[in-house]
Structure 1
Amino acid sequence: MASDATVIPSESKLQLYSYFRSSCAWRVRIALNLKELKYEYKAVNLLKGEQFSPEFAKLNPLNMVPALVDGDIVIIDSLAIIMYLEEKHPQHPLLPQDLHRKAINFQAANIVCSSIQPFQNLSVLNYIGQKINSDEKLVWAQYHITKGFAALEKLLKPFSGRYATGDDVFLADLFLAPQLHTAINRFKVDMTEFPLLFRLDEAYNKLPAFLAAMPDAQPDAVKP
């Protein structure tokens, strides 16, 4: 497991165990960038099975990324990590003060992390390919993505501004950006029926904190 790649030279204790393509780790990278927190990037190659190494299993018994280490504290879920960062580092708040919009942010994040992303997870797609056939993997992923996108399009329409829930970047945007990019570029989802989400994807592609978190910008990215 590569462990010496560094995003930003850092005196902080923060270490992020990440895989460049992981949308879950991607969300956390955006949060760290928005809050201007220095961290050491610890690459975990999921394709090589490094998540099952004894070293990593001590940090995350689920054998998944991300994992954030802050001194003696280890957090292994992307939402939990982001909420931890939000509590500890209040700069650039990731939740609005308005209770209704705050709830919408949690709902949007939950749709992505529980109703979309798990169904396109590498282990799930590999299982579908083994149990049925490889052609079904794309169909399976597209079905669950478009189902979730239909809900998000309706949920966010009354609240959207420049971004998902207004003119400021909040929690929902951190979850949407990796999901939209992956859906469009990896799973070739037709965005015709989702004009709001498509517009948001274009908006995210102009934000420095989001661009710096993109897979191709990570030290473990596979170069074409």
Structure 2
Amino acid sequence: MSHLKLHGFFNSSASYRVRIALGLKGLEWEHVGVNIRTGAQNGIEYKALNPAGLVPTLEHGAVRVTQSLAIIDYLERLRPTPQLIPADGPERTRVLEIASLIACDIHPLNNLRVLKYLTGPLELSEAQKQQWYLNWIEQGFDALEAWLPAQGGFCVGETPTLADCCLVPQVANAQRMNVDLSAYPRILRINEHCLRLAAFADAAPNRQPDFVA
């Protein structure tokens, strides 16, 4: 198998999702740090790799894949087991619902470039930025909590899926922003269970080579 390189940032939720998937698949990979706090993602060299100027980007030989869900789909085809996206049936539908809710509805409204735009060009205060963040977390987590099972350690079924790969980074993101998550016991239960597994624990931001406190 050709060498896998993941261009990402330790605190990027999207990069975090892919790191979890790589760990669950048992794939060897190289971390290439892209400091999105200093704008490295907008540099000429990185934009030649990923014209959107976002992280992560996966390199696999001559293949370049951007967008975390597309990367995880690529990994699913590269190494089909363990399966992270059920092949069919209601479990597949629910996994994709949860992943899409987090990756398409919650996270894009609260990622770094949006928050910087709020306090930069739009001149919102830190308190207004926090209220923006909290509004979208609450709307998204209210829906997510309702979709999750009352018991069990994972979002769907008895094994980790794409849904769990998305949930854990989003919880870490919310905790970093000091959001009170006590209203979401199912989310917290699944997050805590997943973090007991090596693939999730090893993917945590503070275990990455580019981590900065």
TM-score, normalisation: structure 2: 0.95
* Partners of 2:182 and 2:31 in 1: CA distance: 36
* Partners of 1:97 and 1:50 in 2: CA distance: 37
What is the letter of the counterpart of residue 172 of structure 2? H
2:185 matched to 1:195?
yes
Structure 1 residue runs of 4 or more that deviate by more than 6 Å after TM superposition: none
Which one has more relative contact order, counting CA pairs under 8 Å at least 6 apart?
2
Q: C-alpha displacement at 1:204, in angstroms?
A: 1.8
What pairs up with 1:29-48 in 2 under 5 angstroms? 29-48=19-38
Per-residue deviation, residues 164-205 of structure 1 (Å, max 9, x unmatched): 112211110000010012112x12222222110011121122
Gaps of 5+ in 1: 1-10
Q: Give the equivalent residue in structure 2 for 1:205.
A: 195
Q: C-alpha displacement at 1:134, in angstroms?
A: 2.5
Q: C-alpha displacement at 1:26, in angstroms?
A: 0.4
* Partners of 1:107 and 1:170 in 2: CA distance: 12
Q: Give the equivalent residue in structure 1 for 2:145.
A: 153
* Partners of 2:125 and 2:89 in 1: CA distance: 45
* Partners of 1:113 and 1:124 in 2: CA distance: 14
Aligned pair count? 211
| Greater displacement, 12-21 / 211-220 | 12-21
Q: Is contact 1:12-1:38 (8 Å) kept?
A: no
Please give the root-mean-square deviation of Cα atoms over the aligned residues, in Å: 1.4
Q: Secondary structure at the match of 1:206?
A: coil
What pairs up with 1:204-223 in 2 under 5 angstroms? 204-222=194-212
Q: C-alpha displacement at 1:115, in angstroms?
A: 1.0
* Partners of 1:95 and 1:49 in 2: CA distance: 33
TM-score, normalisation: structure 1: 0.90
Gaps of 5+ in 2: none
Q: Give the equivalent residue in structure 2 for 1:4.
A: none
* Partners of 2:182 and 2:127 in 1: CA distance: 23
* Partners of 1:56 and 1:15 in 2: CA distance: 13
Q: Secondary structure at the match of 1:199?
A: helix
2:163 matched to 1:172?
yes
Q: Is contact 1:146-1:189 (8 Å) kept?
A: no
Q: Is contact 1:149-1:194 (8 Å) kept?
A: yes
Q: C-alpha displacement at 1:97, in angstroms?
A: 4.4
* Aligned equivalent of 1:91, options 66, 81, 90: 81
Q: C-alpha displacement at 1:53, in angstroms?
A: 1.1
Q: Secondary structure at the match of 1:203?
A: helix
Q: C-alpha displacement at 1:42, in angstroms?
A: 0.7
Q: Give the equivalent residue in structure 2 for 1:70.
A: 60
What is the letter of the counterpart of residue 109 of structure 1? A
Sequence identity percentage: 38
